Amino acid sequence: MQTVTVSPKFQVVIPRTVRESLRLRPGQKMQVIEYEGRVELIPERDISELRGFLKGINTEFEREEDRL
């Protein structure tokens, strides 16, 4: 786990290793969530980046009769 410092303007620098592993880009939007006393930053992804993320999901299931 890496540590960052909050600047007087309440800014932080995301460490290079984290930026590279998450493929973050300058200007990219992130969701900020306060959760149980901590701050979580969740990068927003372009819809084209999500293509194929459900590959291999099991689609063979029985629907209830009223859902057909």
Residue 63 pLDDT > 80, yes or no?
no
Q: Determine the pLDDT at residue 8.
A: 97
Q: Determine the pLDDT at residue 20.
A: 94
14: nearest Cα among 37, 36, 30? 30
Beta-bridged to residue 39, according to DSSP, are 34
Q: What is the DSSP letter of 46?
A: -
Rounded mean pLDDT of 1-19? 94
For the chain, how far is it from start to end, CA to CA, in angstroms?
49
At 15-60, the pLDDT tens digits run 999 999 998 999 999 999 999 999 999 998 877 766 777 777 777 7
68: confidence class by pLDDT, cuts 50, 70, 90: low
Beta-bridged to residue 31, according to DSSP, are 42
- Determine the Cα–Cα distance for residues 41 and 31; give it in Å rounded to an integer: 6
How much is the pTM? 0.61
- Determine the Cα–Cα distance for residues 44 and 49; give it in Å rounded to an integer: 10
